Amino acid sequence: MPNQKIYFDHSATAPVDPEVFKAMAPFFSEIFGNASSIHGFGQAAQTAVDEAREAVAEFLGAKTNEVIFTSGATESDNLVILGLAKPGEQIITSKIEHPAILEACREMEKRGAEVTYLGVDAQGLVSLAELQKAIKAETRLVSIMYVNNEIGTIQPIAKIGEMIKELNQTRKEKIYFHTDAVQAANYCEMNVNKLGVDLMSLSAHKIYGPKGIGALYRRSGTPLKPIQFGGHQEAGLRPGTLNVPGIIGLGKAVELISQDKKNLGEIRKLRDYLIEEILKIIPKAQVNGDLKNRAPNNAHFSFYGVEGESLLLLLDQRGIAVSTGSACSSGSLEPSHVLMALGLNPLLAHGSLRITLGKFNTKKEIDRLIEVLPGIVEKLRKMSPLK
């Protein structure tokens, strides 16, 4: 099957669902108005934007005025970190966050904020006890990602939200709770009230929507300052002409998630089959992350004596697309900060492979990967100085 192309990198991006593409199409040419314009062309676009905002709000169990459209989760994350905490205040996050959070936190440190980076256990889970211990009078913001983009571990967001709500009852200054929910939207509970979050980041291209559009949920009353300037759009928090086709795509993508939830069992079954077979046929292989509290589409392996980039390239030559970790750091030769936080040996961290399934993958495609992967691992091990 040399010409067969198989895509197993859905945590990097997902293909646009045909229904999403169909919903977006008219807004490139027929309904092309600027949503800020008051004439008919503009109002037709604004009406569609309002409907998409309602769809996102309904998906989150939020009010429409709590949904802010952004260019994606990186902007949403930056808006939270840079727009909420002030110099002298404390931000608490984890060591395994996405760079959009970690780099923004480093910038806040330069501006005089204190940032506490919580460690995780060997499965990638944050300890509630450690989080509570880190909280002090100056704590302004807690930001913990919902599902890790590399190892798929699901954090106990609702429990953290409950704990912070309880602490806030006796505090003078409220602690605000944010979660980067980019990798969670397809698979987890997303009702912001059940989760107890004040802020949540979303990205369309991880949920079969277009690239370049995302959203930030901001609970009413959460004090957020803009980090860019120039217009009145999105309550002044995100100035700039609205990406109308993208917003329509995001709205349609979240509508489809509830329909697709019925497929989660099938995705999990394929993922479990993949893990079971790989561990059975490839010696010195291990799964990284929590096997129980894990996104149903994520399988993350380490292979001793194998370099991950070589593994990726040889699989790509066979028409199979996978990842060695986060797509946002794939140009780096450093071992994954997530795997290092788990306490992995750097050699194992370098030999990692992330396989993330999507709703269009089949068992036949999984079988193809199982067929070619052992030979590639064996070939690379023969070339490796590690025995």
pLDDT (tens, 9 = 90+) of the chain, 387 residues, equals: 446 799 999 999 999 999 999 999 999 999 999 999 999 999 999 999 999 999 999 999 999 999 999 999 999 999 999 999 999 999 999 999 999 999 999 999 999 999 999 999 999 999 999 999 999 999 999 999 999 999 999 999 999 999 999 999 999 999 999 999 999 999 999 999 999 999 999 999 999 999 999 999 999 999 999 999 998 999 999 999 999 999 999 999 999 998 877 778 899 999 999 999 999 999 999 999 999 999 999 999 999 989 889 999 999 999 999 998 544 444 556 788 999 999 988 888 888 999 999 999 999 999 999 999 999 999 999 987 765
Residues 255 and 268 in one domain: no
Domain end among 228, 259, 290? 259
Q: Are 279 and 130 part of one and the same domain? A: no
pLDDT of residue 349: 86
**Rounded Cα gap, residues 244 and 106, in angstroms:** 33
> From the centroid of its chain, how far is CA 4?
28
What 8-state DSSP symbol labels residue 220?
T
* Cα dihedral 150→15→255→31 (10° resolution): 130
Same domain, 330 and 203: no
pLDDT at 325: 59
pLDDT at 366: 98
The Cα 241–Cα 326 span in angstroms is: 30
Residues 33, 255: Cα–Cα separation, whole Å: 24
Beta strands in 270-324 (DSSP E): 285-287, 298-303, 320-321
Final residue of a domain: which of 259, 283, 311? Answer: 259
Q: Is residue 206 part of a domain?
A: yes
- Do residue 226 and residue 281 come from a single domain? no
Same domain, 55 and 172: yes
Residue 144 lies in a domain: yes
Structural domains counted in the chain = 2
- Together in a domain, 144 and 184: yes
Between strands 214-218 and 199-203, the pairing is: antiparallel
Same domain, 339 and 321: yes
Q: 250 in a domain, yes or no?
A: yes
Confidence (pLDDT) at 330:
47
Does the residue 107 lie in any domain?
yes
Q: Are residues 293 and 338 in the same domain?
A: yes
Q: Is residue 1 part of a domain?
A: no
Q: Are residues 116 and 248 in the same domain?
A: yes
Let me know whether 302 and 334 are in one domain. Answer: yes
Q: How far is CA 185 from the centre of its chain?
A: 8
CATH number of the domain that residue 226 is part of: 3.40.640.10
Q: What is the pLDDT of residue 333?
A: 61
| Cβ–Cβ under 8 Å, residues 346 and 303 | no
Domain boundary among 241, 259, 277: 259
Range of the domain at 357: 6-15+262-383
Can you give the pLDDT at residue 387? Answer: 57
What residues act catalytically?
Answer: 328
The enclosing domain of 371 has a CATH number of 3.90.1150.10
Q: Which residues of 82-111 are buried (b: 16+ CB within 10 A; e: fewer)?
A: bbbbeeebbbbbbbbbbbbbbebbeebeee
**Residues contacting residue 273 through CB under 8 Å, at least 6 positions apart:** 363, 366
- Let me know whether 254 and 268 are in one domain: no
Task: Compute the distance between CA of residue 35 and CA of residue 241 in angstroms, rounded to an integer.
Answer: 8
For residue 332, the model assigns a pLDDT of 53
Give the Cα separation of 320 and 196 in Å (integer): 40
In 3D space, the residue among 183, 178, 173 whose CA is nearest the CA of residue 205 turns out to be: 183
Strands in 214-218's sheet, in edge-to-edge order, are 67-70, 214-218, 199-203, 176-180, 139-143, 90-94, 114-118
Q: Are residues 306 and 181 in the same domain?
A: no
